[in-house]
Amino acid sequence: MKLTKNTLMAGTLASALVLGACTTASADENLEWTDEDNNGVATVKTEETNEFKYSVQKAVDTASERFSGVVTEVELDEDDNVYYYEIEMENGEDEYEVKINADDLSISEEEIDREDDDREENKETQSENTTEANGDFIGMEKAVQIAKDKVGGGEVTDKEFDRDDNDYEIELEYESSEYDVEINATTGEVTDIDQENKSGGEYTNNIEFDGNYISSEEALNIALDAVGGGTVGEWELDKDDNEYDIEIDYDGSEFEVEIHATTGKVIKVEQDD
């Protein structure tokens, strides 16, 4: 992911053109922002603007509470008559993007992309003052804990709140595997989990699920028996389709196996040489 810095840079003098797109004086005044290392004017991506309850500075302050870094770009945009600020930040190799509602500072989308393998401790200690939790949402902090509890622990490498899909997407590394966990934003239910084996060894982490779902260990054993052996490279529980999707390397071929998530029945075995 590349962040573009040509829209807003420190000391930019192009604000007159940007502010020309605004229709109210109060909106003009509220588009200027500054942080500890940078300053600028929010780029307006919508044809019309209204008077907002919160200025762009409030949105930048909110983003800065959640991520330690330098603001590189700020935009004001609109979707279905809802106005929001899109803010991008950087801290070394780490990149952060967030969409913040201009009327209530709620967060509709949030993503952290960490490129540095020597990740700093601040990714676990960043402020978790999750404004999306002010409604019916469980909040990012609780979602992260649910994901960690489900896989047994680990280190968060990426996390995102998607208001449109009503879920939290948490990426973790734990015991030589990478996990992608999707969690319903209102109920806290784990709706999808994907585990990728990075070591090439056997899976030792058995994950159990509420309800009538068979465990990951049961599903993997059924898939290995169906193929005749091999090594599991990746598996996913998709509750929407009520199945496990499992990839197995065996005897020079890759097999894709689908297992019914509640009965354990083998739905499909597909070989790819």
Query: Is residue 91 located within the same domain as residue 9?
Result: yes
pLDDT score for 119 = 43
Query: Is residue 39 located within the same domain as residue 146?
Result: no
Range of the domain at 54: 1-122
Query: Is residue 157 located within the same domain as residue 210?
Result: no
**Of 139, 161, 189, at which residue does a domain stop?**
189
Residues comprising the chain, all counted: 273
**Of 189, 215, 237, at which residue does a domain stop?**
189
Mean pLDDT taken over the chain: 78
Dump strand ranges (E) for the chain.
Answer: 32-34, 39-41, 43-44, 70-79, 82-91, 94-101, 107-113, 155-162, 167-174, 177-184, 190-197, 231-238, 243-250, 253-260, 266-272
Amino acid at residue number 111: E
Q: Is residue 195 part of a domain?
A: no
pLDDT at 1 over 60: no
For 205, counting Cβ atoms within 10 Å of its Cβ (0-12 exposed, 13-18 middle, 19+ buried), the class is: middle
Can you give the CATH number for the domain in which 217 is found?
3.10.450.40
Query: Is residue 115 located within the same domain as residue 3?
Result: yes
Q: Is residue 194 part of a domain?
A: no
Residues near 205 by Cβ (< 8 Å), separated by ≥ 6? 151, 152, 174, 175, 177, 195, 216
- Report which of residues 125 and 199 the model is more confident about: 199
- Where are the alpha helices (H) located in the chain, listed in sequence order? 15-19, 25-29, 56-66, 122-125, 140-151, 216-227
Query: Is residue 170 located within the same domain as residue 254?
Result: no
pLDDT at 38 over 60: yes
- Report which of residues 254 and 34 the model is more confident about: 254
**Of 99, 122, 145, at which residue does a domain stop?**
122
DSSP string, 106-125: -EEEEEEE---SS--THHHH
Average pLDDT of the residues in 162-178: 88
Nearest to 202 by CA among 177, 226, 185: 177
How far apart, in whole angstroms, are the C-alpha atoms of residue 38 and residue 50?
A: 26
pLDDT category, 147, cuts 50, 70, 90?
A: very high
Domain count, the chain: 3
pLDDT digits (tens, 9 = 90+) for 80-105: 888 889 999 988 888 888 999 888 88
Nearest to 89 by CA among 108, 114, 107, 106: 114
Query: Is residue 15 located within the same domain as residue 82?
Result: yes
- Percent of the residues in the chain that have a pLDDT greater than 70, as a whole number: 77
pLDDT at 134 over 60: no
Q: Is residue 57 part of a domain?
A: yes
pLDDT digits (tens, 9 = 90+) for 39-51: 777 778 766 556 6
Query: Is residue 132 located within the same domain as residue 221?
Result: no
Query: Is residue 27 located within the same domain as residue 84?
Result: yes
pLDDT score for 69 = 86
Reduced to 3 states (helix: H, G, I; strand: E, B; else coil), residue 195 is: strand
pLDDT category, 193, cuts 50, 70, 90?
A: very high
pLDDT category, 258, cuts 50, 70, 90?
A: very high
Query: Is residue 151 located within the same domain as residue 109?
Result: no
pLDDT score for 55 = 84
How far apart, in whole angstroms, are the C-alpha atoms of residue 209 and residue 151?
A: 11
pLDDT at 58 over 80: yes
Average pLDDT of the residues in 186-209: 83
Cβ contact 54:106 at 8 Å = no
Residues near 189 by Cβ (< 8 Å), separated by ≥ 6? 183, 210
pLDDT at 271 over 50: yes
Q: Cα(first)–Cα(last) distance of the chain, in Å?
A: 33
pLDDT category, 3, cuts 50, 70, 90?
A: very low
Query: Is residue 111 located within the same domain as residue 6?
Result: yes
pLDDT score for 23 = 34
pLDDT score for 12 = 31
